[in-house]
Every structure is written in C-alpha cells, then in structure tokens.
Structure 1
C-alpha cells in the first residue's frame, strides 16, 4: 500500500476546530501556542470559540486550518510514533493546504508557515476590492466544457476555471460580471447547478497577481528545505521535491488553477491506494471517491481518529 497524507483548504473551517486535540494533548497545545506566538494573536481561541464570521475571514481561516492540520501531524509523530516520512509516500494540499503539506514534510517551519498564510490571506484580500470579483461552483459538467464557458463569458474581463476539484465540480473565478455571465451561459447549456460562492475575493485567477507579487517577495526570504517525501503540487499535479521549484510553484498557485482532480489521478498513477486527510473536515476524503474509486479516502481530525489510525497501522 502507498499512502498519501493530504491537507484541506479554505471552506473546511468550523468553530471548535482543533479543540478536541488541544483538550487531550500537550503536543497539540504546543502547536497552537507556537502559531499564536508567531502571529501575535490568539488564533486558537478564535478556532475553539469563534465567532465563525471572524474565523472565516481569509487571513484567519488560512493559518487556522494549517494549525489544525499540523496539530494532527505532530500528535501522530510524537505520541504515536507515526511520522510522515515512514508512513506516507506523498503529501498534497488543496490551495492553502499545500502550505500545510510543506510544513508536514519539513520544507517549512511551523512559525514561517503561519506567518506566510496570514500574509497570503491579507494579500489576497488586498488584491481586488470587495465587490469587483466573484467565484462560482458549476456542477455537473466536464472541465473542458466549463473552460469554454468561462472563455465565452470573459468578454474582455477575467473569467477562468480556478479549481478543478473533481469530475463535475469546477469553480470559476474572475470579475463579478463575467462570473455571472458564465453562470447564465451554463444554465442556457442545460447545466442545472451554478452556485455563487460566499467568498471575499476571486482566488486563483489573474486578478490575484498583486497578491502573487507580495508572496513572491515573502517566499524569497523564507528558508525552504527538501521535503521528506515528494509533494504533489496544485500547479503541476505532479510530484515535486526540489525546494526552489516548490517555492516558485507557491507563487504560481496564487493566480493559477488548483488541479486537484489531476493531482488525485496522478497519485493513483504513482500507486497511492490510501488517501488520508489530516485536519478539519472531510472534503478531500469525499472528493477522492468521485475521482478514483480505487483510492480509499479517510479523514483524521480528533484524538479518537488518531488513536484508531495509529492502532490500525501497527496491527
């Protein structure tokens, strides 16, 4: 069996995230305290108690999701002797989850990852004034069809496929008017579900270039180590181990498409049979069933989940 550890992206945040681990593990508390200190913010308090409106803000949600994921990783490593290098062939993450994957694989330090994600969230919010951009999920059509619809809807503005999440689940991003035109075209073509997303900025499209420029400067000043296992990156949907390539692709990722469907297909080609989502929610574990039914998906977020997983590995 080849296993991949994967890490969730924005949208998986929820009030109470990480609290079970914090209540039951000093190792997890150390992770949350280190992130709080790095950000000079009581982020864990916001994670545990909300309010959800503040937790959902991009610059809070991104480091919070990472902290919850790395708490799971550290508890597995330090309390159950289950480390990434010996128990996974690959790591990957959805959008901001790629930062969690890099922290889990030892490429980035925890404090650097927290600071980078705080900046990433702030930079993405600054890049486009509120109300100028939008995103929408279009369900029930092949990716190539959505690409055509986005190109037709652009009409001189930006409209592009931002997230290729699974068969029949594609997110588009760009100028608000162009995204609305794309939704109308989709309905005219008989695609029944086109849903505007409650986001504050149009992520993963060319409008994010100012954020990419900010992140490029910050990432250039950050130490990148070689990962202990290859990273299946969002930009390439391929296995990458070179630290400089990983750094460059984090910059590209800001404006580029999240190729999650292709990433999971690549994992299958590489022999992955077990995809384990570490952190909050069960989104990625659910998507894998729509992409490759040969890969088993599961999610680990509580101490009970960790104990069951560790026991299974050692049996």
Structure 2
C-alpha cells in the first residue's frame, strides 16, 4: 500500500477537537502546550471548550486545526512508529492544511507554523472589509463550467474559482455582488444547488492580495528546510520539495485556486493507493471517495481512530 498523509482546512474545526487525544497521549498534550506557548494564547482551552464563535474566527481556526493535525502525526509516530520518510510518498493539505503538511514533514518548526497561521488568519480577515466579499459552492459544476460562470458574473468585479474540491464541487470567491450574480447564473444554467458559504472573507481570490503580501514578508523571516517527503502544492497540484519554491507557492496560494481534485489525481498517478487524513473532521476522506473510488481514505482524529489505524498499519 502506497500512502499519502493529507491535512484538513478551515471548516473542519469543532469545539472539543483534540481533547480526547490530549487526555490519552502525553505527546499530544505537549503539542498543544507548545502551540499555546508559541502564540502566547490558551488556544487549546478554546479548542476543547469553545465558545464556537471564537474558535471559528479565522485567526484561531487556522493554528488550531494545524495543532490537532500535528498532534495526530506525533501520536502515530510515538505509538506506532509511523515515519513519513519511510511510510509515505507524499503529504498534502487543503489551504491552511498545506502548512500542517509542511510542519508534519519537517519543513517548518511547530512554533513557526503556529505563528505563521495566526498571522495568515489575521491578514486574510483584514484584507477585505466584512460584507464586501463572499464565497459560494456551485454544486454539480465541473471546473470549466464554474470558470465560465465566474467570468460572466464578474462584470468588472472579482469573481474566480477558489476551490476545485471534487467533481461537482467547485467554490467561487470574490466581491459579494459578483458572487450573488454567479449564484443566479449557475441556477439559470441548470446547476442543482448553489450555496453561499458562511465565511468571513473571500478566500483564494485576487481580493486577498494584501494577505499574500503579508505572508511573503512573514515567510522571509522563517527557516524552511526540505520536507522529508514531497508536498503536493495547492497551486500546482504537483510535488515540491525545494524550500524557495515552497515559500513562493505558499504566497501564491493565498490568492490562487486550491487545486485539490487535481492534487489527489496527481498522487494517484504517482502510485498512491491510500490517503490518511490526519486531524479534525472527515472532509478530505469524503472528497477522496468522490474524486477516485479506487483510492482508499481513512480519517484519524481520536484515540479510537489511532488504535484502528495502527492495528491495520502494523498488521
């Protein structure tokens, strides 16, 4: 079995995430303490106890999701000897999950990753005034259809494909009026459902350029080393290991489309037969089934999941 480890993005957070892991494994507890110290914030208490509206804030959700993902990977390493260099072909993450992937693969320190994601969340939130931007899921659209709808809806404003998640699930992002026009056009063109998403900013489009500039400056100050396995970039849907290229692509990723569907297909073409989603939720495992049923996918987020995965891993 050829594995890739994948790491969830925003939207997978939920109050209580990581708590069972911290109670069961000292290494997970220490991971959360390390993130708390790096941010000078009791983020772990917010993760375990809420309130939900505070955890959902972009600047909290991003480092929190990364912390759970890295804790899962450290537990798997300690409890079952899982070593990415030996046991994985690739790592990949959805949007902020790309930072989790890079941290898990040793490209960034945990403290640097936490601080980068806190800044990334703040910069993305500040880039566009609340209410000016929006995102919508065009369900039933393929990428080409969604791109045509976005182009026709723009009318001089920003409207672009932000996430190509799976066949029939493309997300558009941009100015609120343009996104509303895209919803109307999509309906007129026969798409089954178009949903405006409950997000606080229009991620992965040109309106995020101020956040991209902030990340370019921040990434220049942080040490990046070659990951122990290649990372499949959101921007290129192909493998990258060079630290300078990793930096460049992380800046592009802020305004660029997340090419998740293509990234999964790239890993499959390279011989990956199984995806392991490390962290909160089961979104990526669900998308994998829609992208290519021949690639198996499991989610690991609780002590029971850890036990189940390691039993199969060491069988």
**For each residue in 1:22-69, what CA deviation from the matched residue of structure 2 results, as whole angstroms up to 9, or x when unmatched?**
011110000000000000000000000001100000000000000000
The runs of 4+ residues in structure 1 deviating greater than 3 Å are none
Alignment of 1:17 onto 2:17: yes
1:168 paired to 2:168: yes
SS in structure 2 at match of 1:198: coil
- Structure 2, unaligned runs of 5 or more: none
Distance 2:309 2:200 in 1: 36
Q: Cα distance, 1:2 vs. partner?
A: 1.0
State the Cα RMSD in Å: 0.6
Give the Å deviation of 1:305. 1.1
Cα deviation code 1:250-269 (max 9, x no counterpart): 00000000000000010110
Partners of 2:155 and 2:75 in 1: CA distance: 50
* d(CA) in 1 for partners of 2:125, 2:141: 30
**Paired residues for 1:103-122 under 5 Å:** 103-122=103-122
Secondary structure of the corresponding residue to residue 285 of structure 1:
helix
Structure 2 contact 62–121 (Cα < 8 Å) conserved: yes
- For residues 250-304 of structure 1, the C-alpha deviation after alignment (integer angstroms, 9 at most, x for no partner) is 0000000000000001011000000000000000001001111110011000112
Aligned equivalents of 2:47, 2:164: Cα separation in 1: 28
Aligned to 2:304: 304
Q: 1:136-165, CA deviations, whole angstroms, 9 ceiling, x for partnerless residues?
A: 001012110010000000000000000000
CA contact (8 A) 2:80 2:314 kept: no
Which residue does 1:89 correspond to in 2? 89
Which residue is 2:131 aligned to?
131
Q: Give the deviation of 1:80 after TM superposition.
A: 2.1
Q: Distance in 2 between the 1:59 and 1:11 partners?
A: 13
Deviation at 1:234, TM superposition (A): 0.1
Counterpart position of 2:34: 34
Match of 2:151 in 1: 151
The alignment's TM-score, normalised by the length of structure 2, stands at 0.99
Name the CA distance, whole Å, in 1 between partners of 2:33 and 2:90: 28
TM-score between the two structures when normalised by the length of structure 1: 0.99
Flag structure 1 segments of 5+ consecutive residues without an equivalent.
none
Aligned residue for 1:100? Answer: 100
CA-CA distance at 1:219 after TM superposition: 0.2
- Residue 79 (structure 1) shift: 2.5
Offset, 1:129 = 0.4
Shift of 1:306: 1.0
User: Do residues 213 (structure 1) and 209 (structure 2) align?
Assistant: no
Distance 2:76 2:85 in 1: 12
> Does the 8 Å contact 2:288/2:295 carry over to 1?
yes
- Return the alpha-carbon distance in structure 2 between the equivalents of residues 309 and 85 of structure 1: 18
3-state SS in 2 of match to 1:286: helix
1:274-313 alignment runs, 5 A limit: 274-313=274-313
Q: CA deviation at 1:84?
A: 1.5
Say which SS state the counterpart of residue 272 (structure 1) adopts. coil
1:179 aligned partner = 179
- Quick one: distance in 2 between partners of 1:73 and 1:198? 30
